[in-house]
Amino acid sequence: MADKIRVGLIGLGRISTLHLPVYRSEHKMDAELVAICDTNKKRLKEVAEEYNVEKAYHNVDEMLNDSEIDAVEILTPHDTHCEITIKAANAGKHISLQKVPAMTLSEMDQMIAATKRNNIYFRVYENNRYYPPYQKAMELIQSGVIGKPETVDYRMWCGNKCIGTWDVPLKAWMWRISEKANYKSPIIFDDGYHKHSIIAKFLEEPIESVMAWLGRKIIKGVVKLDNPSVMIYVCKNSSHYGVWNSSYHDMVPMCSDYYGDDEYCEITGTHGTIIIPGCTGQLFSNTPEYGPARPGVHWIGEDGVWHSDTSMETDWAASFTNCSKAFIDGIKTGKQVDLSPEEARYILQITLGFIRSIRSNFAMVKLKDVIDRP
């Protein structure tokens, strides 16, 4: 293996615009982007020129046969992940796989088996675990500042006309509203994997049951959005739980450089509370003094005094930089970084549990009963 990890990136869709910049020199990655792959030849040519990448493939098998590639990032639709991951493992490539890792638990098990059989470094790319305010909140929880976490309340606002929102073409939505690739669930299955992951992390104990409620919103006259929605996560001790409340509005008064949504999280423990305003967007950026709170982390513990740390980077893009660097460090050191295959499987089980709840008239679903499909 070369001194720098040589990376090939598979899939150049919307999210790739946050993966690609990480390999620019200013981020000082111990890696270099040496190849890209996409079926869209026009997009392939544009990215190759912008990032000065010499090897541009429109066939995955050809890329995986390239002996000069050490590792791959897989950014394709979810239903393609299993096949590509197994091929990459058999080709001896280390793997960073974008969430959602698989459509079923049996697919996830096949991927884990293939990577172990070939001695491949494998992790699932869940960048929200690397968002600096969330990392700070995790440190506070682990240090005992708020005692034992008891509840996590996660609020998300979505809007089609947020100020400065990414342009996401209708075509990019199509696989996200299909049954085959995403269970017709762009919010709860696709984006939801982020939320399920963060809430599970903050609760610090296993989630045993989940329950969903779902309304319906049609956007652009075509897309049936799985929103508004409320997700409930219940631990063995039922007084320990999480709630994710999401709603969609024609206009949400926020600025966002990315998707048209933003989040607000409260974690309450036996001794205090942590508040984390913002993540994907900047809901309070146009209000005097940022409205309820500046981006960052705010907390109160047993001392009864509010504390704030707004010194860290709060741009959502920072989570991608941190997440990509962790992958390269993991390959170099052999240390497993988030999400490990086993934890990614657990988050997938939660995700599938919510789809089952929706399709079972919003029934409570025990995770132990989710053994493969929703």
Q: What is the percent of the chain with per-residue pLDDT over 90, rounded to a whole number?
A: 84
Q: For the purposes of burial, counting CB atoms within 10 Å of the CB of 340, is it exposed (0-12), middle (13-18) or buried (19 or more)?
A: middle
Cβ 85 vs Cβ 77: under 8 Å? no
Q: For the purposes of burial, counting CB atoms within 10 Å of the CB of 21, is it exposed (0-12), middle (13-18) or buried (19 or more)?
A: middle
Show the tokens assigned to 340. 């490990």
Confidence tier at 246 by pLDDT (50, 70, 90): very high
- pLDDT for residue 290: 67
Show the tokens assigned to 187. 């919010």
Backbone angles phi, psi at 22, to 5 degrees: -60, -30
| Helix then strand then coil, % of the chain, to nearest 5 | 35, 25, 35
Show the tokens assigned to 48. 């190759």
Q: What is the pLDDT of residues 283-306, one digit of tens each?
A: 887 777 767 678 999 999 999 999
- pLDDT for residue 143: 97
What is the distance in angstroms between the CA of the first residue and the CA of the last residue of the chain?
Answer: 40
- pLDDT for residue 2: 65
- CATH class held by domain 129-315+352-357: alpha beta
| Domain ranges for the chain | 5-127+319-337, 129-315+352-357
Q: pLDDT: is 178 or 170 the higher one?
A: 178
Q: What is the pLDDT of residues 102-115, one digit of tens each?
A: 999 999 999 999 99
Confidence tier at 91 by pLDDT (50, 70, 90): very high
Q: What is the pLDDT of residues 30-49, one digit of tens each?
A: 999 999 999 999 999 999 99
Backbone angles phi, psi at 103, to 5 degrees: -90, -20
Question: CB-based contacts of 304: which residues, under 8 Å, 6+ apart?
Answer: none
Confidence tier at 220 by pLDDT (50, 70, 90): low
How far is it, in rounded angstroms, from Cα 359 to Cα 374?
8
- CATH class held by domain 5-127+319-337: alpha beta
Which of 15-29, 120-134, 215-229, 238-252 shows the lowest per-residue confidence on average (mean pLDDT)? 215-229
Confidence tier at 166 by pLDDT (50, 70, 90): confident
Say if strands 261-269 and 149-159 run parallel, antiparallel, or are unpaired: antiparallel
Q: What is the pLDDT of residues 315-370, one digit of tens each?
A: 999 999 999 999 999 999 999 999 999 999 999 999 999 999 999 999 999 999 99
| Res 219 pLDDT > 80 | no
How far is it, in rounded angstroms, from Cα 354 to Cα 367?
10
Q: What is the percent of the chain with per-residue pLDDT over 70, rounded to a whole number?
A: 97
| Res 221 pLDDT > 80 | no
User: Which one, of 328, 347, 350, lies nearest residue 337 by Cα?
Assistant: 328
| Res 19 pLDDT > 80 | yes
User: Phi-psi category of 92—alpha, beta or left, where left has phi over 0 and alpha has psi -120 to 50?
Assistant: left
Q: Which amino acid is at 195?
A: K
pTM of the predicted structure, to 2 decimals:
0.96
Helix (H, G, I), strand (E, B) or coil at 26: helix
DSSP string, 102-146: -SSHHHHHHHHHHHHHTT--EEEE-GGGG-HHHHHHHHHHHTTTT
The residues pairing with 231 across neighbouring beta strands, listed in sequence order, are 212, 244
- pLDDT for residue 147: 98
Mean pLDDT rounded to a whole number for the chain:
94
Confidence tier at 1 by pLDDT (50, 70, 90): low
User: Which one, of 290, 297, 289, lies nearest residue 140 by Cα?
Assistant: 297
- pLDDT for residue 116: 98
| Res 223 pLDDT > 80 | no
3-state secondary structure string across 233-278: EEECCCCCEEEEEEEEECCCCCECCCCCEEEEEEEEECCCEEEEEC
Q: pLDDT: is 223 or 242 the higher one?
A: 242
Q: pLDDT: is 220 or 80 the higher one?
A: 80
- Asked whether the bond before 100 is cis by omega within 30 degrees of 0, the reply is yes
Sign of CA dihedral 249, 255, 261, 264: negative
- pLDDT for residue 373: 97
Say if strands 71-74 and 5-10 run parallel, antiparallel, or are unpaired: parallel
Cβ 259 vs Cβ 176: under 8 Å? no
Show the tokens assigned to 371. 């053994």
- pLDDT for residue 260: 87
Alpha carbon separation from 20 to 272, 324, 326 (Å, rounded): 39, 10, 15
Say if strands 207-214 and 365-366 run parallel, antiparallel, or are unpaired: antiparallel
